[in-house]
Structures are given as structure tokens and as C-alpha cells.
Amino acid sequence: MSLWSTLGRPGRLQFFLAMALAALAAIAGVMLMGLSGWFLVAGALAGMSGLGHSFNHLYPSAGVRGAALVRVLGRYGEQLSGHDAILSLSARLRPRIFAAGAHGRRGLSPMASAELTALVDDMDAAEGAFLKVVLPAIGVIAGFVVALGFALASDAVVFGAAALAAVLAGGALPYLAVQAAQRRSAALSAQADASRADVARLIENATELDVYGALSGYADEAETLLRGWQDQGERLERPFRGLSAMLSACGVLMAVLALWRVSVTGGDLPVAAGAALALMAAFEAASAMLKVMEAAPRAKTASMRLAGKLAVEGAAWDARQDRAVSLQSVLPIEVRNLTVCAEPGAPQTPVASFTVEPGTVTEITGASGIGKSTLAEALMRLHPVPESAVFYAGVEAGNARIASVLEHIAMSSQMPSFLPGTVADLLRLAKPNASEAEMRGALETALADVFVFARPEGLDSAIGENGTGFSGGEMRRLGLARAILAGPEVLILDEPFAGLDRALAGQLAGRLSDWLAGGRRALVVLQHKPGAALWRAQGVHHVALD
């Protein structure tokens, strides 16, 4: 509920309607049992005394039928509005969570599969809590109120005993169990994260492990870890199972007490029978709720983690919006003794100093793993950089918003990512209102027009999951076309000539040189070896990382 409030209370009407219907359905269910008990015993006593002909069975019969109908409609409406409320919550939560993660993430590396799985599990646990915990709890409370009303009408002693049992067995003990489970839930969540990470690594490397004959051993280790996780989860559930059985027994004891009291006091037997069945129904409902109460500590842990992610507004190293300088241009980019790391604890890149000026090509060369891509991502403000290490048109990087920098810089990676769709759809991710002529121009610059328009569908050619339908080289050139279509001042190219023969590499370099000359632009090229001879530019600067 706290997470729901943080998100602005989406689907407020549906949430409150679901709560009201949960209470109504529970009240109707207990009323159904209480009225049925009263009606059956009163009718039997009337028949035994010879007064069956004068016993008015219409009103109680109508009450029983009405309660049954209200209970069914209430349950149905509760589920309908409850799921509608959760969908509203999900529609607000999931985009914001992924946006918060994207804004605060360093570099361009995708989220690890284990991290993604943990995030999805947290969202499922938080969203399911409303249906599994909140609504049943409201129903149980409402049902107990009605059952205690029947008990009070029957006998004060029964009412006092039932109220005490409800407070202790239905309230205090479950609360203590949830608190104890909450402490264990954090440890279980950490163990779950470790299990997911191990299984994800196993799946990602299964083929290689199988080739070396090591798959079985790693699979056994993963199975042992998962069994341990499952055992811990079962231990978390055991106290709730015991409490559930205790509540069912309390309901039976309260029913017996009500019938015993009427035999001792000579009270109203039909009312006592109604109270007995109503109390059994209320305690049984509480017992059923406790079977899913283990979801409460997990939901709380998940909700706290999600709320923590939502509380992080953008990257920690981003400039404050009220103090940031608006960038009309990023050129020239001055780099002074810059060294960065891909993530905390990772190796630092070699120290680099250079200037990216309009009309020039800056080649950053070095061996694989030296940090070329990390350095390029730092130019895009996707990593924190030391003070006075990077300047955009004279503005120190710490005073510029990441979004403002990204308006002027685009990167064509060596392994571009694409969502399934048509070529036109995926190009328009860079410029939603791009015309066909603009897309053709970008494709021509990237030498992608040849293979795109060789297909009958042209721009409507389908790209499947993970680029299915195009080769790796073709996907790289489509990624380059998309980056060009964004209209950047600075275009960063990661190994743009990988896999190309010398003639095709020269042709691509010529097209990019023409693009460079078409405005106030600059190229930053990441590659293993210098390729200055390919470029036609005002200046080609070489930065070697070693």
C-alpha cells in the first residue's frame, strides 16, 4: 500500500471498490452461515412443536438466498475490480521501475538476466500482495465483526471468548509470525538472488560447459543451491500452517462453546446455532487467509526494494536540474587526463587527453578490453568522471545534464540491439517523425541501402528477435544508419569496419567523410588499429590507449 501511494495511487476507484466488495462478500458469507443455522434449527423446533404451519419461512429463506447471491456477486466483483486495480498499478509501476533503472545505469551494458529476473519477481510479489494479503485481511476483519455480532446476540460469555480468540489467534499471533518471517525473508531474498545468478550463468554458458563435459557437475551444484532455497522457503511457511490449523480449531471450539452455553443457560437455541456456524465461518476464513500470509513478508521486502529503486531519480552523477547549464552544442569536447571505470571496483582505463573538434575524426585505438568503449560512454556522460576532466563547449561535465549531452551525441555499437519490427520502425526509434527520404539518406550513408532495398519489402522488411533475418554485418550497418538518423553533432563508431573488405571499408569511410563535411560535426572512432588513410577530413587525431 505504501508503494501504491508512492506511485500516486493509480486505479484508486478500483482499489477502494475491491476493498468494499471484499468486505461485503465476507459479511454475506458469515451472514449466510448464521442465518442458515438459525433458520434450520428454528424451523426444526417449530415443526417438532406442531407450529410448522405458522412458522414464517419466507423472510429467513429470502435472507439466506440473498446472502448467498450477495456473496457470489461480491466475490466476483472483488476479483474483477481487484485485478483491474493491480493492472493499473502494474501499468504505472513497471515503466517507472525500468525507466529508473535505465536512467541510473552506468554505460550501455544491458541488465543481467539474473538481475532482471529478480526485478520481475519483486514486481510480481508486490503486485500480488493486494490480492493475496490486503483483500483477504479486509474480508476476515469484516467477517469477524458480523460473527461477533451473532455471538453477542447469543451469549455474553461466548462473545467474550470469541473476541479474545479473534484478537489472539486471528491478530496477535499472525502479526508476530509475519514479523519473524520478515526478518528471515531478507536472508531468503539474498539467497534467491544468488540462486538466480548461478542458474542464469549456467544457462548462458551451458553449451560451452557441455563441450568440456562440465555441465553435469555445475547443474548438480545449481540443483543443490535451489533445493536449499526451496527448503528455506518451506521453513518460512511452516508457522503460518500451524496458525491456520489453530484458527480452524478455534472456530470449532467457539461453536461447541456456543451450543454448550445455550444448554446450560437455557437461552435461544436457534440464535446459538446461528452464532456457532457464523463463528466457524469467520475463523475458517481467517485460517484460509493465513495459508497465503507468507506472501506478506515477501511482498514487504519486494515493495521496499522497489520503492528504493523509484526513490533514485536519475544517475547519481547527473547534474542537478536547477543548476545545470543548457547545452546548445557539445563541440569542442575537451578531455583532460581522463580515466574511468566501467563499474565500481573494475579496472580504470588508461589516462587520456584529447580534443574533439568540428570537422575532425578522433581515432581511439587499443587492444580489446583496454577500455575504449568505457571511455566513449564517459564522453556521453554515461559514467561518472572526475572534476575538470571533460568539458562540452567549455562547460564542465558536472554542470551538464546527461540528457542534454545525449541530445548531441550518438553511438553506433559493434553489436547493436534491435526490437522486433520493420526496418522503418527501428530506424524511427532515433527520430520518430523521420520521412522516408531521411531514412533512405541514413541507409545510404551507412551502405545499408543496398541490402535493404534489394528486398521486395524495402523499409517494411521485418527484423525478428535478436536481428533474425539479417546478418551480423548488416545489423551493424543498420545500427549505424539509426545513429546517423538521430542527427548527432558527435557520432561515435565502435569498430565500424569490422568484417568489411578493404574496398567496402574505404567506401564506408568515404560516405562517413561526406556526412562529416555536411555540418558542424565530428567523428570518434573506436578500433584496434589506426585507419587514418581511409578518412577525408580536416584533421585525423590518434589517441592510443595502452
Phi then psi for 354, rounded to 5 degrees? -165, 170
What residues of the chain score a pLDDT lower than 70? 52-54, 113-114, 179-191, 193, 196, 233-239, 290-294, 466-467, 531-533
533, 372 contact by CB (below 8 A) = no
494, 410 contact by CB (below 8 A) = no
Amino acid identity at 152? L
The closest of 29, 26, 37 to 271, measured between CA atoms, is: 37
pLDDT for position 234: 67
424, 430 contact by CB (below 8 A) = no
Question: Please, which residues have CB within 8 angstroms of residue 137's CB and are 6 or more apart in sequence?
Answer: 289
Establish whether the linkage from the previous residue to 270 is cis, with ω within 30° of 0.
Answer: no
300: which 3 cell numbers? 514487504
pLDDT for position 447: 93
The owner of cell 569496419 is 497
Complete domains list, the chain, with CATH? 2-311 (1.20.1560.10), 333-544 (3.40.50.300)
Give the helix/strand (H/E) hosting 395.
Answer: strand 395-396
Amino acid identity at 357? E
pLDDT in tens, 272-283: 999 999 999 998
Count the neighbouring beta carbons within 10 Å of the beta carbon of residue 372. 25
Count the neighbouring beta carbons within 10 Å of the beta carbon of residue 211. 9
pLDDT in tens, 186-212: 666 666 767 767 777 777 778 888 888
